[in-house]
Amino acid sequence: MYYYMDEGQERSLVGVKEIARRAGVSIATVDRVLHDRTGVSQATKTKILAIIKELDYQPNIFARRLSSNKKMRIAVLIPSASEASAFWELPLQGVRNAAQEVAQYGIVVQEFLFDQDDAATFDVQAGNVLEGRFDAVILAPMFVDRAEAFLDACDRTRIPYVLINSDMPERETRCYYGPDLYQSGKMAGHLLRYLAPEGDILLINISKEMDAHHHLLRKEEGLRAYFSINRLERSIHKVDIRDTAYSAIAAALDDLLKEEAQIQAIFVTNSRVASVARYLEEHDLAHKILIGYDFIPENVRYLEHDVIDFLICQKPAEQGYRAINALYNKLIYGVDMKQLNYMPIDLLTKENLKGYQN
């Protein structure tokens, strides 16, 4: 959907963006101050009002007219959290927090959750989104081929979309909030260079839909590239575990760790590292170096007990929050969305986890 802006409206939008830039806040926060709405701290409000006065900014009613006359709907197509991993609760929290903020401007956010271990559930929910004729979409592209077909349909109908957590670099039309997956894997390699200077490394992918989860493979590529680029000789063993039940993971590790006793460090490419930590703890193998992903309760517990050594984190709640705000700015103001918005790659140990914000 497109809106024509006259010269005065364009000047107004530039003014709002400049106020937001100077104040270090979102356009939505400036809007709340301009329209005297709640949800802004007094300190932030005072700062924004001072900038408004300095710029001699005179707001118009363009955004208010849009929000009052037309409801705009954003579909959120991401996995649901599961017993195996609570990770997807985090981006959903960010989405919901942002949805509450933009609701007063006529933005309605609807969730369509699928099972990350069952591609058929993605097909069903993707069909529901397309049938619903939404104004914009947030997508976690877990299943590459299916995600490609879904985004092709969005492009045909000119529906803007934002990708979170996993990128699809070949799509020029995408906006992405999430980690640089390749660099994330290289960071793991850099850590292991010093943590396991002589022993072998075990790389573990845990997913029922392994071939469709390209974000795991990009991390693997990054890890291997680090050692190759730096001309470091390392023996890297790899296992793809396609059954996410703990019993299956334990059975796979039984075989590997008995046959490859020289393995010194383990790198798990997703948030299911807690299952590997449980195995190491139960089998008195907690001395082995263990690196995995994501600041979720089950992982933090093993980090605190010195079973997991490092967690690589990527601000999942902020991904969801910023994705909603990007689409809000696009739908209400027509602001073009920046293509690549990389989250910081944070490294957590038990010493610095207190106070960490996802």
Q: Which pLDDT tens digit goes with each residue over 324-344?
A: 999 998 888 778 899 999 999
Q: 266 is written with which tokens? A: 């383990």
Superfamily of domain 181-313: Response regulator (3.40.50.2300)
7-65 against 181-313: fold identical? no
CA distances in angstroms from 78 to 165, 277, 323, listed in the order given = 10, 27, 12
Assign 152 a pLDDT band (cuts: 50, 70, 90). very high
Does residue 10 have a pLDDT over 70? no
CA distances in angstroms from 39 to 19, 32, 208, 283, 287, listed in the order given = 18, 7, 42, 50, 48
Does residue 213 have a pLDDT over 80? no
Assign 191 a pLDDT band (cuts: 50, 70, 90). very high
* Residue keyed to tokens 């559930």: 121
Does residue 6 have a pLDDT over 50? no
Host H or E run for residue 226:
helix 214-229
Q: How confident is the model at residue 69, as a pLDDT?
A: 62
Q: How confident is the model at residue 49, as a pLDDT?
A: 86
Does residue 288 have a pLDDT over 70? yes
Q: How confident is the model at residue 306, as a pLDDT?
A: 96
The arithmetic mean of pLDDT across residues 287-306, rounded, is: 96
Assign 172 a pLDDT band (cuts: 50, 70, 90). confident
Q: How confident is the model at residue 106, as a pLDDT?
A: 85
Assign 82 a pLDDT band (cuts: 50, 70, 90). confident
Better-predicted residue by pLDDT, 66 or 98: 98
Axis crossing angle, helix 316-328 with helix 27-34, rounded to the nearest 10:
60
Does residue 84 have a pLDDT over 70? no
To the nearest whole number, what is the mean pLDDT of the chain?
Answer: 88
Q: What is the DSSP string of 10-74?
A: HHHHHHHHHHHHHHTS-HHHHHHHHTT-SSS-HHHHHHHHHHHHHHT----SHHHHHHHH--EEE
Domain positions in the chain = 7-65, 71-178+316-343, 181-313
Query: For the domain bounded by 71-178+316-343, which CATH number is listed?
Result: 3.40.50.2300
Q: How confident is the model at residue 212, as a pLDDT?
A: 54
Q: 202 is written with which tokens? A: 């075990």
Q: 138 is written with which tokens? A: 């947030």
Please give the Cα distance from 159 to 1 (Å, whole number).
8
Residue 126 CB coordination number (10 Å): 24
Q: How confident is the model at residue 348, as a pLDDT?
A: 96
Length of the chain in residues, anyone? 358
Please give the Cα distance from 264 to 242 (Å, whole number).
23
Q: How confident is the model at residue 4, as a pLDDT?
A: 36
Q: How confident is the model at residue 209, as a pLDDT?
A: 74
Q: Is 42 exposed, middle or buried (0-12, 13-18, 19+ CB in 10 A)?
A: exposed
Assign 357 a pLDDT band (cuts: 50, 70, 90). confident
User: Do residues 146 and 213 touch, judged by C-beta distance below 8 A?
Assistant: no
Better-predicted residue by pLDDT, 269 or 255: 269
The arithmetic mean of pLDDT across residues 259-264, rounded, is: 84
Q: What is the DSSP string of 255-281?
A: HHHHH-TTEEEEEESSTTHHHHHHHHH
16-65: per-residue pLDDT in tens?
888 888 999 988 888 888 877 778 898 998 898 888 878 777 665 445 54
The arithmetic mean of pLDDT across residues 274-284, rounded, is: 96
HEC string for 174-197: CEEEECCHHHHHHHHHHHHHHHCC
Q: How confident is the model at residue 61, as a pLDDT?
A: 46
Please give the Cα distance from 119 to 235 (Å, whole number).
34
Please give the Cα distance from 169 to 254 (Å, whole number).
37
Does residue 7 have a pLDDT over 80? no
* Residue keyed to tokens 């990770």: 87
The arithmetic mean of pLDDT across residues 98-120, rounded, is: 91
Residue 2 CB coordination number (10 Å): 6
Fold of 7-65: 434 Repressor (Amino-terminal Domain) (1.10.260)
Q: How confident is the model at residue 258, as a pLDDT?
A: 81
Q: 79 is written with which tokens? A: 């996995």
Closest CA to 16 of 70, 77, 62: 62
